[in-house]
Structure 1
Amino acid sequence: MGVDAQKEAAGVDELLLGDLVQMRKTHPCGSDKWTVIRVGADIKIRCSGCGRIVMMDRADFTKRMKKVIAHATEPIRGTNETD
Structure 2
Amino acid sequence: MIDLRYFAWLRERVGTGHERIETDARTVVELMTELAARDEGYALAFSDPSTIRAAVDQELADLDAPIQGAREVAFFPPMTGG
TM-score (norm 2): 0.30
More strand by share: 1
Higher relative contact order (CA 8 A, sep 6+): 2
TM-score (norm 1): 0.30
Q: Which structure would you say has the larger Rg? A: 1
More helix by share: 2
